C-alpha cells in the first residue's frame, strides 16, 4: 500500500456527485450527471470521451468558468476547500494560482495585442504581486523551462509571430507561472501537428513530474492516454462509465461503451475489406438521454433496467494495478 | 428560403417586427388614404384661422397660413414614401446588378466596381445631394435622384459580399460543374439566397432616404410648395417657434415615427429571415 | 511601423488627388457652362463673356485644374464671387465655428457612447441593456434638425438658458468670449451628438460582446482575473478596433450634418457658408469648400488608420487582419 493514501491527509482534489445543468430552449438539460473522483498531488488522471460527453464541462466546472446560467450542485474540494458555491473573488484567487488550465486552441488563446512576456507576467503580478521587471525575468525562466527556442527574443514578441506549438508552450508557461497544485489540460495537442503533439505532451509529462502537480488530462484520443496518465476515466453522456488504472483499462475493459471505443480504433494489419467497427447510433441531444444509463439506447447489452435506473458504480477486481480501483457503472456487469 | 409558414409564425411573435410593421403599415395607409381624401384640402389657405390651437375642427391646429396640420401630415406621407421607394429602387435596381456582376466576374471587374463604390462612400452624401440640387435646381425629382445615387454603392457592396458567400458554397460549385452559366447560377441560386440580406438593407436605406429628404426639404432644396413635405413643415414651424411651438413637434414626430418603424421592421426582418445573421446582437 | 505609415500616407495623397479631380470634374459637367450657372438665366451675353474671362473658362480644363491645385498648395485660393474675398480666408473664419462644434459633438458622442455601450454589453439582455438599446433606437430615428428645434424650444424658448441661435464670437469684444462661445455651441453639439451617440453605442456594445466571446478572454479568466479586470485589461483595447473605424466614418458624417445644424442655429460656420454659396451660385466657394471638407474626412481616416497600427501589432508587421 502506498503511504500517501492516508485518510488523514487532504486529497488534492475530491469531486463528489458533481452535477451541472444548462438551460436550453426545451428546459434544463443535465450536462453532467454525477461525476466523482479523487486525486492526489503527483497523480495524473485522464478523462476520455467523445464530443458532448461532458469532459470539457467537467474541467470548466472545476475552474469555476461555467457560463453564468449554469446550475451546479455537488462538491468539489480542492485541498479541503469547497469550490462549489465559492464567491467569485475567492475563486479568482485560486484560479491561476493553485489550479491552472491549458486550453485546446493555442492559436486564439492569447491576446493578439499584448506581448508574450506580459501575458505570462499577468498571473505573477496578480497573485504574487511581482513588479513588472521581476515578472519579466521570471517569464524568461518559464519560457526556457518550456523549451521555447530563442526565449529571450520571444519575450517581446507578439502571438502572431509564433507557431501553434510555440504558442501552446507559452500557454503552458502561463499555467505553471504560479506553481499550481493542479493542472488541467483540455485537449492540449488536438489542434497541433502530429509531430509537435508528442513534444508538447512529453513536455507536460515532464513538468508535471518535476513539480509534483496533479494533472487532469482531457482528450478523445485513446492512444494518447496510454503513455501519459496513471489512471483513466471514461465519460459518456455526462457521467463516468468506467475508471481504472491505465494498464488495467487497456487490458480489461468492462463497460460496453469502453469496449466500443477500443473496438472502433482503426488498426494496422487488418485484412482488406474489414469494415471499421463503429458504435451504432449517435450521441443524443442533452435533453434526450434516457433516464437511466446514458448509453442505454446504443448498447447491445441494454435491458429495461438500464434505461430506467441510473447505474451504480461497482468496483471490480483490479489486476495488479496497486490501489487504483477499477470501477464500472453498468448493471449488466456482475462481479464474477 | 425556409418554409414560408414557419417564417410567418416567427415573424408574428417577434416584437420588433410587429411594432415596426404596424408603424410602417400605418404610414402606408395614411399615404393611400390621402390620395383620395384628407380632412381639408392642403391647398386651402385660411389666414383668419392661422396658428390655431388644436380643436374639434382642426385636430392638430393650423399653420401660419391657416392650413390644417393633420391634412398636411397625411399628404406629406405620400412624399416620404415616394422618396423612399424610388431612392431604394434606384439603389436596388442599379446597385444589386453591379454587386452581382462583381461577385460573378471577380478579377478586375470586381476591383473597379468596389473601388468606385468605396470612393462614392468617401464622399459626404448629404453634401453631394445639396450640390446636385444646387446645380440642377431644387425639387423632388432631383432630391430623389441624388439620394438614390448614394444607395447604389451600398447595395453593390452588400450584394457582392453576400453573393461571394453563396458562390463559395458547394451547391454553386455543383451547378457550375453541371455546366450552368454564371448568369443562370446568379439568377437561380445567388439571388434567392441573398434576398433576405437585401430586404433588410432596403428597409434601412428606406429610413435613411426619408431622413435625407427631410433634411433637404428643411433646407428648402427638396420638395417644393405646394406639395406638402414634413421636412419643409419643420422649417416653416421654426420661424413660428415663439408663437406656436407645437407646430415644430408634429412633423418631426411624423418623421421620427416613420424612421423608427422602418428600423424596427428591419431589425425584426433580420432576426426572422435569417436568425444566423442576427448573431447575438 | 514606418513602412505601414508610409504606405498609408501614399494612399492618403492619392485619394486626395483623386478627390480633387472628381470635384473639379463634377463642376465641369454642369449643364450649360459655369458662367451661365453663376449668373443665372437673365444674364446678358456680355456679362457671361466677362464671367467666363474671370473664371478663365477659355483655358483648357487641364490647365485650369493645375492652376487650381497649384494655387491651393501655395495657399492662394480662388476668389469668391459673392464675397470677393479669397475662399481661403472665408473658410478659415468659418472653421473657427465649425471645428470646435465638431470637436465638442465628437467628444460628447465618444464619452457617452463608450460608457453606454460598455454598460449595455456588461448587462447583456438584462434591464440595463434593453434600456440602452431602446434609447439608441429612438436616437437613430430622430432627425437631428428636429432634435435641434426641440432643444431650442426647451432651453431657449421655455427655460431661456441659452439663445435660440447665432454665435457671439470667440473674442470678448461684442459680447463674445470663450464661455459665451461654448454656450452658443452647446445645443448644436448636443443635437449633432444624439444620432452619432446612438450609432456608436450600438457598435461599441456589439464590439465588446464579440470580444468577450474570444478565446483569450477565457484564458484571462483562467489566470484568475476578475470579470472587471478582464474587461479593462483585455476586452476594451481589442474591441476598440472596430469602434475606431466607425468613429472615423462618423467624423465625416458630423461635418456634413453640421451643414443642416448650422442652418438651424444660424451659426456662421462652414456649413452655412456652403449653403449660402450654393444659394448664391458661388461655384468657386462651393468647389473649394467641398475640397476642404473631403480633404478633412480623408485626413481623419488616415489618422485612424495610423492609430490602428499603433494599437494592433499585427498590422505593424504587415499582416492582413
Q: Which of residues 36-95 of B touch C (CB under 8 A)?
A: none
Instruction: Decide: residue A76, CB within 10 A, 0-12 exposed, 13-18 middle, 19+ buried.
Output: buried
- Candidate from C216, C237, C311 with C-beta closest to A109: C216
- Candidate from B124, B131, B234 with C-beta closest to C149: B234
Report the mean per-residue pLDDT for chain C.
Answer: 82
Q: What is the pLDDT of residue A334?
A: 61
Q: What is the pLDDT of residue B281?
A: 33
Q: What is the pLDDT of residue B223?
A: 85
CB B135 to CB C256 under 8 A? no
Residue A36 Cα, gap to closest chain C Cα (Å): 22
Q: C214: which chain A residues are within 8 Å (Cβ-Cβ)?
A: 108
Partner C contacted by B7 (CB < 8 A): no
CB B124 to CB C294 under 8 A? yes
Torsion, Cα B70 B75 B79 B81, to 10 degrees, reads 90
C-alpha cell at B234: 419643420
Residues 6+ apart with CB under 8 A from B143: B83, B129, B133, B212, B213, B216, B217, B221, B222, B223
Across C287-309, average pLDDT: 82
The chains found to touch B (3+ Cβ pairs under 8 angstroms) are C
Across B42-49, average pLDDT: 76
CB A108 to CB C214 under 8 A? yes
Instruction: Decide: residue A2, CB within 10 A, 0-12 exposed, 13-18 middle, 19+ buried.
Output: exposed
**Cα→Cα distances A257→A238, A247, A278, A293, B272, Å:** 13, 18, 11, 11, 42
Partner C contacted by A216 (CB < 8 A): no
| CA separation for the pair A174, B213 (Å, rounded) | 58
CA closest to A177 among chain C residues: C223
CB A93 to CB C226 under 8 A? no
CB C225 to CB A126 under 8 A? yes
Report whether pLDDT(C1) > 70.
no
Distance of CA C206 to the CA centre of its chain: 23
Report the mean per-residue pLDDT for chain B.
Answer: 83
Best interface-test mutation with A: which of C224, C227, C308, C320 has the largest number of A CBs within 10 A?
Answer: C224
Q: What is the pLDDT of residue A8?
A: 47
CB C225 to CB A109 under 8 A? no
CB C298 to CB B122 under 8 A? yes
Nearest to C205, CA basis, from C141, C311, C113: C113
Residue A243 Cα, gap to closest chain C Cα (Å): 27
- pLDDT, greater one: C319 or C312: C312
Chains C and A touch (3+ CB pairs under 8 A): yes
| CA separation for the pair B191, B194 (Å, rounded) | 5
Q: What is the pLDDT of residue A7?
A: 45
Nearest to C201, CA basis, from C253, C132, C301: C132
**C31-50 pLDDT, tens per residue?**
556 666 667 667 777 777 77
C-alpha cell at A66: 461555467
**Cα→Cα distances B257→A279, B8, B162, C138, Å:** 59, 24, 30, 9
Q: A126: which chain C residues are within 8 Å (Cβ-Cβ)?
A: 223-225, 229
| CA separation for the pair A144, A124 (Å, rounded) | 16
- pTM, two decimals, is 0.81
| CA separation for the pair C302, B81 (Å, rounded) | 38
Residue B123 Cα, gap to closest chain C Cα (Å): 7
**Partners of C79 in beta bridges:** C86
Q: What is the pLDDT of residue A192?
A: 87
C-alpha cell at C59: 483655358
CB A123 to CB C224 under 8 A? yes
Place of cell 478633412: C296
* pLDDT band at residue B16 under the 50/70/90 scheme: confident
Partner C contacted by A303 (CB < 8 A): no
**B182-200 pLDDT, tens per residue?**
788 778 878 888 888 888 8
| CA separation for the pair C120, C212 (Å, rounded) | 13
Q: B280: which chain C residues are within 8 Å (Cβ-Cβ)?
A: 124, 209
| CA separation for the pair A99, A186 (Å, rounded) | 13
Residue C317 Cα, gap to closest chain B Cα (Å): 25
Report whether pLDDT(B214) > 50.
yes
Angle at A182 between CA A179 and CA A185, to 5 degrees: 105
Q: What is the pLDDT of residue B171?
A: 78
CA closest to C294 among chain B residues: B123
CB C260 to CB B219 under 8 A? yes
CA closest to C312 among chain A residues: A113
Query: Within 10 Å of residue C153's Cβ, how many Cβ atoms?
Result: 20
- pLDDT, greater one: C177 or B123: C177
* pLDDT band at residue B237 under the 50/70/90 scheme: confident
- Candidate from B135, B248, B259 with C-beta closest to C149: B248
Which residues of C touch chain A, with CB atoms under 8 Å apart? Answer: 214-216, 218-227, 229, 233-234, 237-238, 311-314, 317, 319
The ipTM value here is 0.84
Partner C contacted by B112 (CB < 8 A): no
Return contacts of C137-140, CB within 8 angstroms, 24+ apart: C137/B260, C137/B263, C137/B264, C137/C198, C138/B256, C138/B260, C138/C198, C139/C194, C139/C195, C139/C197, C139/C198, C139/C201, C140/B259, C140/B260, C140/B263, C140/C195, C140/C198, C140/C199
CB C278 to CB B130 under 8 A? yes
Across C271-292, average pLDDT: 81
Report whether pLDDT(C127) > 60.
yes
Nearest to A117, CA basis, from A85, A79, A162, A158: A158
Q: C143: which chain B residues are within 8 Å (Cβ-Cβ)?
A: 211, 214-215, 231, 234, 252, 255-256, 259
CB C137 to CB B263 under 8 A? yes
Nearest to A54, CA basis, from A303, A291, A264, A289: A289
CB C263 to CB B219 under 8 A? yes
Q: C275: which chain B residues are within 8 Å (Cβ-Cβ)?
A: 130, 219
Angle at C181 between CA C180 and CA C187, to 5 degrees: 95
- Candidate from C214, C224, C311 with C-beta closest to A126: C224
CB A160 within 8 Å of CB A210? no
CB A95 to CB C223 under 8 A? yes
CB B125 to CB C256 under 8 A? yes
* Percentage of the residues of chain C whose pLDDT score is greater than 90: 19
**A140-195 pLDDT, tens per residue?**
999 999 999 998 998 999 999 999 899 999 999 999 999 999 999 999 988 888 88
Best interface-test mutation with A: which of C207, C216, C226, C312 has the largest number of A CBs within 10 A?
Answer: C216
CB A112 to CB C314 under 8 A? yes
CA closest to C135 among chain B residues: B260
Interface B:C, Cβ pairs < 8 A = 111
- pLDDT less than 50: residues of chain A: 1-8, 336
Instruction: Say how many CA atoms lie within 13 Å of B133 toward its Cβ.
Output: 30
CB B95 within 8 Å of CB B159? yes
Instruction: Write a three-state SS string for chain B.
Output: CCCHHHHHHHHHHCHHHHHHHHHHHHHHHHHHHHHHCCCCCCCCCCHHHCCCCCCCCCCCCECCCCCEHHHHHHHHHHHHHHHHHHHHHHHHHHHHHHHHHHHHHCHHHHHHHHHHHHHHHHCCHHHHHHHHHHHHCCCHHHHHHHHHHHHHHHHHHHHHHHHHHHHCCHHHHHHHHCCCCHHHHHHHHHHHHHHHHHHHHHHHHHHHHHHHHHHHHHCCCCCCCCCCCHHHHHHHHHHCCCCCHHHHHHHHHHHHHHHHHHHHHHHHHHHHHCCCCCCCC
CA closest to A109 among chain C residues: C216
CA closest to A161 among chain C residues: C314
CB B257 to CB C141 under 8 A? yes
CB C140 to CB B263 under 8 A? yes
Residues 6+ apart with CB under 8 A from B25: none
Partner C contacted by B259 (CB < 8 A): yes
CB C298 to CB B238 under 8 A? no
| CA separation for the pair C220, C216 (Å, rounded) | 6
Partner C contacted by A88 (CB < 8 A): yes
Distance of CA C84 to the CA centre of its chain: 27
- pLDDT, greater one: C191 or A264: C191
**Cα→Cα distances C277→A44, A110, A126, B217, C285, Å:** 80, 55, 62, 18, 6
Chains B and A touch (3+ CB pairs under 8 A): no
| CA separation for the pair C148, C194 (Å, rounded) | 10
Interface A:C, Cβ pairs < 8 A = 77
- pLDDT, greater one: C175 or C239: C239
Amino acid at each position: 500500500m502506498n503511504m500517501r493514501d492516508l485518510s488523514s491527509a487532504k486529497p488534492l482534489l475530491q469531486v463528489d456527485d458533481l452535477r451541472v445543468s444548462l438551460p436550453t430552449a426545451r428546459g434544463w438539460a443535465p450536462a453532467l450527471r454525477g461525476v466523482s473522483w479523487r486525486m492526489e498531488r503527483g497523480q495524473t488522471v485522464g478523462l476520455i470521451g467523445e464530443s458532448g460527453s461532458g469532459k470539457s464541462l467537467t474541467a470548466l466546472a472545476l475552474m469555476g468558468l461555467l457560463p453564468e446560467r449554469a446550475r451546479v450542485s455537488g462538491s468539489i474540494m480542492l485541498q479541503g476547500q469547497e469550490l462549489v458555491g465559492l464567491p467569485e473573488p475567492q475563486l479568482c484567487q485560486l484560479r491561476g494560482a493553485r489550479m491552472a488550465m491549458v486550453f485546446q486552441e493555442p492559436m486564439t488563446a492569447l491576446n493578439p495585442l499584448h506581448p508574450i512576456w506580459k501575458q505570462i507576467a499577468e498571473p505573477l503580478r496578480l497573485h504574487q504581486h511581482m513588479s513588472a521587471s521581476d515578472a519579466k525575468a521570471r517569464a524568461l525562466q518559464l519560457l526556457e523551462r518550456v523549451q521555447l527556442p530563442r526565449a529571450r527574443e520571444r519575450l517581446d514578441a507578439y502571438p502572431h509571430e509564433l507557431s501553434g506549438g510555440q504558442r501552446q508552450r507559452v500557454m503552458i508557461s502561463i499555467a505553471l507561472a504560479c506553481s499550481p497544485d493542479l493542472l488541467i489540460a483540455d485537449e492540449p495537442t488536438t489542434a497541433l501537428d502530429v509531430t509537435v503533439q508528442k513534444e508538447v505532451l512529453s513536455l507536460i509529462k515532464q513538468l508535471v513530474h518535476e513539480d509534483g502537480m496533479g494533472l487532469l488530462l482531457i482528450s478523445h484520443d485513446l492512444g494518447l492516454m496510454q503513455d501519459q496518465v496513471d489512471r483513466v476515466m471514461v465519460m459518456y453522456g455526462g457521467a463516468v462509465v468506467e475508471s481504472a488504472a491505465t494498464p488495467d483499462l487497456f487490458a480489461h475493459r468492462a463497460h460496453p461503451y469502453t469496449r466500443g471505443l477500443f473496438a472502433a480504433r482503426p488498426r494496422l494489419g487488418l485484412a482488406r475489406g474489414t469494415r471499421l467497427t463503429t458504435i451504432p447510433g449517435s450521441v443524443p441531444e442533452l435533453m434526450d438521454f434516457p433516464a437511466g444509463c446514458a448509453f442505454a439506447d446504443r448498447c447491445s447489452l441494454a435491458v429495461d433496467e438500464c434505461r430506467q435506473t441510473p447505474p451504480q458504480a461497482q468496483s471490480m477486481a483490479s489486476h495488479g494495478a496497486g490501489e487504483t480501483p477499477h470501477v464500472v457503472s453498468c448493471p449488466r456487469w456482475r462481479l464474477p | 428560403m425556409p418554409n414560408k409558414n414557419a417564417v410567418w409564425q416567427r415573424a408574428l411573435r417577434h416584437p420588433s417586427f410587429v411594432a415596426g410593421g404596424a408603424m410602417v403599415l400605418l404610414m402606408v395607409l395614411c399615404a393611400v388614404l390621402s390620395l383620395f381624401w384628407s380632412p381639408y384640402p392642403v391647398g386651402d389657405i385660411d389666414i383668419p384661422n392661422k396658428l390655431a390651437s388644436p380643436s374639434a375642427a382642426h385636430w392638430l391646429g393650423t399653420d401660419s397660413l391657416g392650413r390644417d396640420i393633420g391634412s398636411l401630415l397625411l399628404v406629406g406621407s405620400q412624399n416620404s414614401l415616394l422618396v423612399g421607394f424610388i431612392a431604394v429602387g434606384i439603389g436596388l435596381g442599379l446597385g444589386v446588378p453591379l454587386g452581382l456582376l462583381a461577385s460573378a466576374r471577380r478579377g478586375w471587374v470586381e476591383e473597379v466596381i468596389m473601388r468606385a463604390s468605396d470612393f462614392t462612400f468617401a464622399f459626404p452624401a448629404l453634401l453631394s445631394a445639396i450640390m446636385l440640387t444646387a446645380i440642377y435646381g431644387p425639387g423632388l425629382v432631383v432630391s430623389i435622384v441624388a439620394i438614390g445615387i448614394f444607395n447604389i454603392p451600398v447595395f453593390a457592396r452588400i450584394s457582392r459580399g453576400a453573393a461571394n458567400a453563396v458562390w463559395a458554397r458547394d451547391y454553386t460549385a455543383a451547378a457550375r460543374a453541371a455546366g450552368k452559366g454564371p448568369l443562370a447560377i446568379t439568377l437561380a441560386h445567388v439571388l434567392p439566397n441573398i434576398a433576405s440580406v437585401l430586404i433588410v438593407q432596403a428597409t434601412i436605406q428606406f429610413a435613411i432616404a426619408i431622413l435625407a429628404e427631410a433634411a433637404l426639404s428643411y433646407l428648402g432644396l427638396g420638395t417644393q410648395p405646394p406639395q406638402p413635405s414634413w421636412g419643409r413643415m419643420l422649417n416653416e414651424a421654426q420661424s413660428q417657434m415663439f408663437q406656436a411651438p407645437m407646430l415644430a413637434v408634429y412633423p418631426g414626430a411624423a418623421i421620427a415615427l416613420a424612421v423608427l418603424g422602418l428600423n424596427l421592421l428591419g431589425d425584426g426582418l433580420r432576426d426572422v429571415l435569417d436568425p444566423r445573421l442576427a448573431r447575438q446582437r | 511601423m514606418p513602412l505601414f505609415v508610409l504606405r498609408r500616407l501614399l494612399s492618403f495623397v492619392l485619394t486626395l488627388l483623386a478627390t480633387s479631380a472628381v470635384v473639379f470634374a463634377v463642376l465641369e459637367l454642369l449643364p450649360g457652362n459655369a458662367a451661365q450657372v453663376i449668373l443665372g438665366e437673365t444674364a446678358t451675353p456680355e456679362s457671361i463673356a466677362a464671367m467666363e474671362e474671370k473664371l478663365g473658362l477659355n483655358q483648357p480644363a487641364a490647365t485650369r485644374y493645375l492652376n487650381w491645385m497649384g494655387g491651393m498648395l501655395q495657399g492662394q485660393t480662388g476668389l469668391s464671387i459673392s464675397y470677393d474675398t479669397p475662399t481661403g480666408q472665408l473658410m478659415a473664419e468659418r472653421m473657427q465655428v465649425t471645428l470646435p462644434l465638431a470637436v465638442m459633438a465628437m467628444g460628447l458622442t465618444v464619452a457617452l457612447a463608450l460608457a453606454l455601450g460598455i454598460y449595455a454589453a456588461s448587462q447583456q439582455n438584462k434591464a440595463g441593456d434593453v434600456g440602452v438599446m431602446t434609447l439608441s433606437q429612438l436616437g437613430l430615428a430622430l432627425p437631428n434638425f428636429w432634435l435641434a428645434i426641440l432643444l431650442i424650444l426647451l432651453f431657449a424658448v421655455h427655460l431661456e438658458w441659452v439663445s435660440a441661435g447665432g454665435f457671439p464670437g470667440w473674442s470678448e469684444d461684442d459680447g463674445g468670449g470663450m464661455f459665451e462661445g461654448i454656450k452658443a455651441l452647446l445645443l448644436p453639439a448636443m443635437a449633432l451628438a444624439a444620432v452619432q451617440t446612438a450609432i456608436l453605442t450600438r457598435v461599441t456594445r456589439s464590439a465588446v460582446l464579440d470580444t468577450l466571446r474570444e478565446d483569450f478572454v477565457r484564458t484571462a479568466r483562467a489566470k484568475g482575473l476578475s470579470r472587471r479586470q478582464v474587461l479593462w485589461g483585455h476586452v476594451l483595447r481589442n474591441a476598440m478596433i472596430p469602434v475606431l473605424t466607425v468613429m472615423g466614418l462618423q467624423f465625416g458624417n458630423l461635418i456634413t450634418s453640421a451643414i443642416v445644424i448650422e442652418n438651424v442655429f444660424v451659426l456662421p460656420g462652414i456649413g452655412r457658408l456652403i449653403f449660402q454659396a450654393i444659394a448664391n451660385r458661388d461655384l468657386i466657394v462651393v468647389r473649394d469648400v467641398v475640397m476642404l471638407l473631403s480633404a478633412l474626412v480623408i485626413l481623419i481616416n488616415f489618422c485612424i488608420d495610423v492609430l490602428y497600427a499603433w494599437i494592433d501589432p499585427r498590422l505593424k508587421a504587415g499582416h492582413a487582419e
